[in-house]
Structure 1
Amino acid sequence: MSTSSEDLPTYEDIVAASKTIAGVAHHTPLATSRILDTKLGVRVFLKCENLQRMGAFKIRGGYNAISHYMKDDSFDFKGVLTYSSGNHAQAIALSGGLLNVNTTIIMPKDAPPLKVEATKSYGGSVIFYDRYTENRDEVAIKVKKTLPDGTVFIPPYDHKYVIAGQGTCGKEIFEDLQHWKGTYNDAQTEEAIALDYLFVCVGGGGLIAGISLAAAAISPNTKIIGVEPEAGNDAQQSMAAGKIITIETPRTIADGAQTQHLGNLVFPIMQKHVSKIVTVTDEELIEDMKFFGQTMKMIVEPTGCLGLAGLRKMVASGEVPKGSNCGVLISGGNVDLERYCKLISSGSG
């Protein structure tokens, strides 16, 4: 399904989005771990979007996009339709509730129950489909015909104002590090820190596209590294081929990255600003779920562990030199506790 915005977002759109979401989305903290720094031999700054409102970064783009249409007087805005495996679904439903806008969300029938229930609790009307046998774009076209005229489709990632909203995450990271106050080597520090690398999870590409735009404007020497599941490396293939590659729906515990292809708007941004795409296994994600839980006392969903797993891989290969300053985006913490416990205890999905 095509998006309603054909032009690419700019850093100015990110600045505008930061004003739109102020007081709605949280300005999430940067966390550090001496244990992690010592083990990897680099300095790591973790952007904790697992502590974001509704448990993931998606509220940024969802709220920004709906707010944009509410300001548009060129048509009679009646509501929002989207599809999502969970976090964007919750973001659209919550944003719709806050802005008094009707929302309809198409979700895979095997979406995490926690995310389905949260979407419904925020006021979203949920319609299910089979992600392995049905095409969600085709399902969305059929559903849209049943909704009132003036219903706008806002996709999870391939949309100007969604990308701009997600980009506020990167803006916060770089601005906070320009005036960093924290503890390093047991001493209180106040300094300006330039990131050498920033690791970002990749599903459809909206988050990494927005963050890379912010990096280009604020910290152009930072290398943006995308991380996706080994079972679904469409972004890696696309960057290598110079065109968008579509794959079968990947079977991975990282449900937020079970996308089949990158977006048409995000791909040229990634080509221009993303340095590399690496992949990690589900087993590596589970190890970092354990690390976050045991060492940092945080619940992080599998998709949220992609960034740290990618950093570990590139440190181990020597591609990230010792002593580097590295940022890691923790995208979310929405995972059913029963599944979380099963994953970290048995290592199985």
Structure 2
Amino acid sequence: MTTATDTTAGATQSSGGTTAATATGQTEGSASTTQGAATSAAADAAGQTGAAGTTDGAAQTGDEAPWQDGLAGDLKTNPLFRTYKTVDDLAKAHDHLTKLKGATAAELLKIPAKPQDQAPEDWAPIHKALGVPEDPKDYKITLAPEAAADAPALEGVLRELGGKAKFQPAQMAAVIETLNTLGQQAEAAEVAAREAETRTVTDTLNKEWGAAAEGNRRAIGKLMRDALGGQIDEAAQADLERTVGANLTLSRILAHAIGKMAEPEGPEGGSAAPAARQLSPAGAQAALNALQGDAEKMKALNDRGHPQHKAVLEERRHLLAQARGEKRPDSVG
């Protein structure tokens, strides 16, 4: 019995061992199979990933090719463009450069490398962009009267100069403004000098002529008007009087001539009193001037009780009438 039991036990043990072994084998086999399947799946996944990686790698290899290779001609080898990693970098640089220069490429002008060696046509685009007229006649020139006595001739010179020098309109305007200013300054200086000379002459003649000074000046003015027969306008007359007034010698000569006109000849060449005959208006004015400059006659004229008062008063009345161009009050016909 013991043997049987042992055999059974052994068998059982043996059977259990077999069963365990079998179970263990099956378990390990199943795990191995599962692991193998997992490994196979991983391998497939890796394979798929590898395939995708290969595709991506091919795409990456295409992207890594320099973008400059797509440019035309020599541009693809131009080292300037090789400094930019991407097209965006190039675009940003161009935008920055444009803002820095303040102008687009179309707005920029190229100055010839050697201006003195360039033909006129090389400068034509630059001159046109700067507004230089193609025809010098198109320059706008307005000269002040003081700038030149012969404005048309000066305008021609300026147009010729502007055409040769290729003046821009603003430059020509600056030249004209300068000429006008210089002309006006010269005119003002001339007027100031003439006025200063006139003051000097006036002061000198006032001392020489005394009380007759103002009358002499009126007589000189009337003499000039009568001599010209009225063929002169007021502005020219005023200018003539200013000219005479600034000339000491001429003023003295005219005053002397008027004085002689106030001394008519009497019978047989003798002198007659100024009031004894009809005088010209200028002669009568000169005689009035002489009367006013005569201290004794003025004393008699202003003193009713003076014995010569009536004679001087009558003489003055006759001279006033003749100075106005009237006949002597006692003249017949």
Structure in which a larger fraction of residues adopt strand: 1
Which protein is bigger by CA-based radius of gyration? 2
TM range (shorter): under 0.3
Hey, which of these two has a bigger chunk of helix by percent? Answer: 2
**TM-score, with normalisation over the residues of structure 2?**
0.17
Q: With the length of structure 1 as denominator, give the TM-score of the two structures.
A: 0.16
